[in-house]
Amino acid sequence: MERRKIEGKTLILNAVKYMEEFDNKMNEVAMAIVGFFRDLATKIDANKEKLKQTEIGFQVALAQCGDHHDELASNQEDQLTAKVEEMCQAIHHVELNEKLQQCFDLLD
């Protein structure tokens, strides 16, 4: 009878020990999963911020290119207007042809 009590006690202690080990393993797995998702969320947030900064940089660069293009177009338009005025004031066809060629050179 005493032996049965000892065997029962040993079985219960082994079961409790197994449950504690299982609980510890599940806790480690759960903590690892939580850590993974926390790291993933942190990286996603960082990438969202990086994407936002890249988009802002792209918009600024696009605006600068547009401004530069507008400035170039305006300068070419002014130069072409000046050449057209010179063509209108040309006295003979040789001078007129020279001014016309200068206009074509500006357009190229």
In three-state secondary structure terms, 91 is coil
Q: How many domains does the chain have?
A: 1
Helix boundaries (H) for 1-108 = 2-88, 93-107
Tokens of residue 47, six digits: 């990438």
- For residue range 29-75, what is the model confidence (pLDDT) as tens digits? 999 999 999 999 999 999 999 999 999 999 999 999 999 999 999 99
Q: What is the DSSP letter of 90?
A: -
How many C-beta neighbours within 10 Å does residue 83 have? Answer: 19
- Domain coverage including residue 36: 2-107
- For residue range 5-27, what is the model confidence (pLDDT) as tens digits? 898 899 999 999 999 999 999 99
CA distance 49 to 20: 43
- Average pLDDT rounded to a whole number, residues 77-83: 84
Measured over the CA atoms of residue 63, residue 65, residue 71 and residue 74, the dihedral's sign is: negative
Q: Is the pLDDT of residue 92 over 70?
A: no
